[in-house]
Amino acid sequence: RVLLAALLVLATPAVTLLLGIFLQRELVEAPASPGEGWQLFLAAVAEGLLQHHLYGSFLFPFLALCAYPAWLLLWNVLFWK
């Protein structure tokens, strides 16, 4: 059960984005420090909000309205008593 909880936390949209940023930096052979990775993560979230507001991009609302509630539902099912 603890292993499933750890796996579920690693599958959250925020952690997936953060790990994707670190993976991308490794693939271009320019590793990021934890602080730099965090700043890139915050910039990616801010860019998603800005693009939605300015250009009507639907990626941020999709993640906010579809992916995150699905993760919360999975969390609820995992720890159901």
Q: What is the mean pLDDT of each run of 10 residues along the chain (81 residues)?
A: 77 83 92 91 86 76 70 72 67
Task: Give the pTM.
Answer: 0.64
Residue type, 31: P
**What is the distance between the alpha carbons of residues 36 and 71, in angstroms, rounded to a whole number?**
26
Position 64 scores a pLDDT of 67
Q: Of 27, 21, 77, 65, which is closest to residue 45 (Cα–Cα)?
A: 21
Domains of the chain: which residue ranges? 2-78
